[in-house]
Amino acid sequence: MMPPVASVLLFKDFYDPGYGLFNRALEFLHLPAQDWLQSSDTAMLSLVIASTWMNMGSATLIYLAALQGIPGELYEAAELDGAGLLRKIWHVTVPQTKLILSLMLLMQIIATMQVFTEPFLLTGGVGPEGSTTTVVVLIYQYAFSFNQYGGAAALGLCLLVLLAGFSALHVRLSRDNES
C-alpha cells in the first residue's frame, strides 16, 4: 500500500525499455524485450498490471478482515460432516463473505471507471495511438486541453449516471438476496 504516484513511478521504471525490470526478466528468460508503454498492443495491459498491483493491498486487507469474521465453528462443523477444502470454501467461506465480495466487486468497478493516475503518469494520458485513454482522462482532456468545459461536464455527468446505475443495481440485488 504505497501512494499512487510513487507506485506509478516505480512501474514506470519497471517498464523502461532500456533498463526496466520487466525487460531484464525477459532477457534472463531469453525472450525478446517489449515496448511496454510505447506499443499500442501492450500499453493498456501494462496499465492493468500496474493498477492491479497498486490496488491489491487495500483489497487484501478488506478480504482478510472478512475472513477473520467467519466463526471457526462453521469450519469445524463442515469438517465433521466430511467436507474437504473446496467444499469448505464453497459452502462456508463464500456464503459468509458474499456481502463483502459483492461490495468489493462494486468498488472495483467504480475504481476501474475512474482510473486517471496510471495512464496520465505512465503514458501522458493517451498512450500510443490513444490506447490508454480512459473516461476520466478524456474528461481531463476536454476540460484542460481543449477548453471544452461543457463537454467535460457532460462526460462527467454520464460517468456519474453510469456509476449510480451500477450502485443502484448492487443495492437492489443485495436486498433481493437478503430476503
- Domain-by-domain residue ranges, the chain? 4-178
Radius of gyration of the chain (CA): 21
What pLDDT does 11 receive?
A: 95
Please name the residues in contact with 158: beta carbons below 8 A apart, sequence gap of 6 or more. Answer: none
What pLDDT does 179 receive?
A: 58
Cell of 84: 474437504
What pLDDT does 22 receive?
A: 95
The verdict on domain 4-178 having CATH code 2.40.37.10 is no
pLDDT tens track for 129-141: 999 999 999 999 9
2: left (phi over 0), alpha (psi -120 to 50) or beta: beta
d(C-alpha 154, C-alpha 63), whole Å: 36
- What residue ranges of the chain have pLDDT lower than 50? none
Q: Interior CA angle at 126 toward 166 and 165, to 5°?
A: 10
What pLDDT does 144 receive?
A: 95
Cell of 105: 466487486
pLDDT tens track for 159-174: 999 999 999 999 998 8
With contact defined as beta carbons under 8 Å apart, do 139 and 115 qualify? no
pTM of the model: 0.82
